[in-house]
Chains A and B, each alone.
Chain A
Amino acid sequence: MAKALRALEEMKKVNASFPFSEPAKKWKEKGKKIVGWICINVPEEIIHAAGMMPFRITGGDEEITLDRANEYLFSGNTCSYSRTILELQLRGEYGFLDCIAGATPCEGVMRLLEVGAHYHDIPILPLLDTPRKINERAYDFYHVEVADFKKYLEQFFGIKISDEAIVNSIKIYNKTRVSLRKLHDMMKKDAPPVSGTEMMEILNASVRMPREDFNILLDDLLEEIETTGRFIPTTLRIMISGAVLNTTPFIKAVEGLGVTVVTDDFCTGSRYWWEQVESGEPLKAIAKRYLNAQCPCPRTNPSNLRSDWLKKIAKEFRLDGIIALTMRNCAPYIFDLPMWKTQIEDQGTPVLDLDIEYGGGFSGQVRTRIEAFIEMLSLEVAT
């Protein structure tokens, strides 16, 4: 049994009240604004520099019924992530947000934001036009998008965001990234300091509380890990891959089968924090960072950016297997998976291709297939 970590328990408390977390409530009580964001192409630093709290809009830890969302977003082919978000918005659970900032990474998110604007009353800022292709033109293009986003935010709230504030916010957010990388690198150890479930708790908390407070907690966590020498006994090392997943019970159930999720391939996971904002003209640097070229989203062209990254990670983390979760109707991931699955398998890492719904539980069939996969991996390791 791994030792309890105080900072981690604090982070779990943040996630306990969903979606309106305790830190968010306290923030609002001070009369401050909260801007909800959807998609990791939305630059949090700009919101933070405006003196507001960026708050990631996600589903919670449980799969919910989507009756209201299904009325407005066709259930037959709109991904359950988009419908879950709309359902929560229609139920008023995100009513504490002052506005929503979003991007256009995929059809699901784009239509969620466009359709939602007709049926709920949370204002939506003009969407950031997110290129699907990574090249110099895309960086230049997104630079203007980020600059426009700053203007929209200023206009909407009647404020001015200073360059100094942006530079300061970059420092604060980069600090998070450095610390998360440090923690993530520790996952390469034979016995990593935290489980995949705990890693997701940490990441969920990071986007539901003021960033300065989170950074303190994260520093505390790293210190506790060092002083306690905490470790998770590990036999099989797994990556869970997919478009988006933030349900800790799912990861916990996977790990309950005797594996450790040492890394991930989610926009709620590594993709969220992987890259630093480099030095240089702040908005330009932010734009470049937020196209995520190093750890790209499945929508990204050219596709080898992702396959190269995944192959590298599989080696670095000495993965025994990858569980690839395809959320139904997530076309980018469906087309992306064949582009790297064979390459990874040829490299010696088996991949389990599994269909799930966003927020979905560890149902019988899912459990059976993962169990069988892990059993197969165990045999391979044993031989």
Chain B
Amino acid sequence: MKLRKIKNFDLTMFEQSIAVMEQMKSHCVARSETMFFDMMMKLFGDVASAVKEGRPFIASGMSFPTEIYAAMGIVGLEYDMAGSCLNTYLGCEDEIWSAATALGIRPEICSPQRAPVGWFAKGWFPKPTAIVNTSMDQCDNMSQNANVMAALYDVPIFCINRPYRWWSQRGLDSMAGEIKDAITFLEEKTGRKMDWDKLKEAARLTVRQMEISIEIHKILAAARPCPVKSGTGFLIHWIRMAFAGTQGGVDYCQAFLDEMKELVAQGTGYTPKENYRLINLFTFPVGQHAVLDWLEQEVGAVFAAEPMYFMYNESELAKVDPSKPLDALARFYYLEPYQQFYGPLAEYADMIVNDAIESGADGAINFFNSKCRMGGAVTRVIKDQLRKKAGIPTLTVDVEMIFDKSEAVEKHLKKQLEQFFLVLDTAKKKAA
């Protein structure tokens, strides 16, 4: 198949996902889960309305500073996670993969970056006014897939280049400059003007979200039993990305925190008996949530640490000045712990080791996505560092992150985990 401009757009599937989310909401256990679906349904609905009514809608790659949307009054949607979740909700993987593969996007490409290409190739993703993405320095997929999507929909594109080395003034200045250029691009393409006072307010709200997340992290590391339901770390992560700089985002984080505090006060958690405290090193395979329930309810294994979702750098956050919004947004970019994963290995490894120690984890599980080159390449180093510096073993599970819902995979996962728990039991006996 040749890469040709898409002429027919169909929002049916996208809108169906809202109904599926409504149905999924009814199965939620934690209050924050319910809130997550309410917010996402509203966001997806706003996107559909904007497209139908001809208002600006921007599709963006992971880690684009969405405070900008809040300050410019634009509807925006992150396409990597959205595309993946649409697949999961609607069960249309085969069609999506086929569409991406036909363009030459091979199966070895990470599912979250392949899915949106498939959605665009089908014409099922809402047509944006423009696309903005980031290089994430380094995730080759994230910096490249948007080019294909923009070509398919024939829409303008802007890429933010993020430096490799973090925290230097030069790195911050470069990021601030890139973000400023992105704002200029969006002003041109949407006809909306940046309200700089609103951007300052948005920066203040993001600071608040991060402060709450730091509090969550502290409680998560210290509380026994674990007061966070397994799998919900991914939800707060997505909320922070999609609703950065909004009161709604702050409210969600606060609700998440309040829920934890209530459980801590009650001396309870989601697992009947906490047998294993684990540090989770990557997003749990979302097609295998039954395994999460099994871990929590039957095995008594909890994720006492999920550094990529909660390990914000408190001292660096203190340096953020919302009255200088471009600088603040640049700092947020570096503060987001998920993005450490795509930066220098040394900093990423330190974050993981420190969280393992702080949380008193018995072991680490690296559900690294088998298509993630950034994660795959460092599994051995991380394993070695955790053993050497935190004294814990690591189970590396090579999984298809998003879509493999098969029972065979479930059985395989459980078997690997059971064997790992035997290792942890032996270690505990030795320690005793």
Question: Which A residues are closer than 8 A to B by beta carbons?
Answer: 71-74, 76-79, 82, 104, 106-108, 110-112, 114-115, 118, 127, 129-133, 137-138, 141, 144, 299, 301-303, 326, 328-329, 331-332, 334-339, 341-342, 345, 353, 355
A83 → chain B closest CB, angstroms: 10
| Binary contact readout B179-191 vs A (1 if CB under 8 angstroms, 0 otherwise) | 0010000000000
> Is B357 located at the chain interface by the 8 A CB criterion?
no
- What is the minimal beta-carbon distance from A137 to any residue of chain B, in angstroms? 5
- List which B103-119 residues lie within 8 A (CB) of chain A: 103-106, 108-109
Residues of chain B in range 238-295 having any CB-CB distance to chain A below 8 Å: none
- Separation of A144 and B168 alpha carbons in the complex (Å): 13
For chain B residues 368-385, which have a beta carbon within 8 Å of chain A?
370-374, 376-381, 384
Asked if B340 CB lies within 8 Å of chain A CBs, one says: no
CA separation between A355 and B165, bound complex, in Å?
A: 33
Query: CA–CA, A212 to B87, complex, Å?
Result: 58
Band of interface residues on B: 35 or more
B359 within 8 A of A: no
Given contacts A72-B381, A115-B377, contact A132 B104 (CB under 8 A): no
In the complex, what's the smallest C-beta–C-beta distance from A356 to chain B, in angstroms?
Answer: 12
Tell me whether A74 and B376 are in contact in the complex, defined as CB-CB below 8 angstroms, given that A129-B164, A132-B137 are known contacts: yes
| Residue contact A111 to B178, C-beta cutoff 8 Å | no
Q: Is the CB of A332 within 8 A of B151?
A: no
Knowing A137-B178, A335-B147, A339-B151, the reply to whether A78 touches B376 (Cβ < 8 A) is yes
Supply 12 A–B pairs (Cβ within 8 Å), ascending by A.
A107-B139, A107-B140, A129-B165, A137-B161, A141-B170, A299-B144, A329-B108, A331-B373, A335-B147, A339-B147, A342-B3, A355-B106
Give CA–CA (A334, B109) in the complex, Å. 8
Among A106, A115, A334, the residue within 8 A (CB) of B138 is: A106
Instruction: Name the 4 nearest CB pairs between A and B, nearest first.
Output: A335-B144, A111-B377, A331-B140, A74-B376
Q: Is the CB of B164 within 8 A of A78?
A: no
- Would you call B374 and A107 a contact (CB within 8 A)? yes
**Do B373 and A111 touch (CB < 8 A)?**
yes
Residues from chain A with a CB closer than 8 A to the CB of B109 are: 331, 334-335
Q: How far is the CA of A118 from the CA of B378 in the complex (A)?
A: 11
Residue pair B377, A104 in contact (C-beta under 8 Å): no
Task: Given A115-B345, A129-B164, A132-B161, check contact A299 B143 (CB 8 Å).
Answer: yes
Contacts of A338 in B (CB 8 A): 3, 103-105, 148, 151
| Interface membership of B141, Cβ < 8 A | yes
A115/B380 contact (C-beta < 8 A), A141-B170, A326-B106 known: yes
Q: Check B106 against A334 for contact (C-beta < 8 Å).
A: yes
Chain A residues with CB under 8 A of B371: 77
CB nearest neighbor in A for B140: A331
Q: How far is the CA of A138 from the CA of B4 in the complex (A)?
A: 31
Given contacts A301-B147, A338-B104, 17 further A-B contacts (CB under 8 A): A72-B381, A74-B376, A74-B380, A76-B370, A78-B377, A129-B165, A132-B135, A138-B161, A141-B170, A299-B140, A299-B144, A334-B104, A335-B148, A336-B144, A336-B147, A338-B103, A355-B106
Chain B residues near A335: list those with CB within 8 A. 105, 109, 140-141, 144-145, 147-148
A301: chain B residues within 8 A (beta carbon): 135, 143, 147, 159, 161
Do residues B108 and A328 form an inter-chain contact, with CB atoms below 8 A?
A: yes
Taking the nearest CB of chain B, how far is it from the CB of A67, in angstroms? 14
Instruction: Report the Cα distance A329→B376, complex, angstroms.
Output: 12
Q: Report the Cα distance A115→B375, complex, angstroms.
A: 12
Question: Could you say which residues of chain A place their CB within 8 Å of the CB of B104?
Answer: 326, 334, 337-338, 341, 353
Chain A residues within 8 Å of B345, by CB: 111, 114-115
CB pair A77–B103 under 8 Å, yes or no, is: no
Interface centre among B104, B378, B380, by most chain A C-beta atoms within 10 angstroms, is B104
Q: Is B163 an interface residue (CB 8 A)?
A: yes
Chain B residue contacts of A76, Cβ below 8 A: 370, 376, 398
Residues of chain A with a CB closer than 8 A to B165's CB: 129
Cα distance, A296 to B130, chains bound together (Å) = 24
Alpha-carbon separation in the docked complex, A114 to B141 (Å): 19
**Would you call B373 and A108 a contact (CB within 8 A)?**
yes
A77 — nearest CB in chain B belongs to which residue? B376
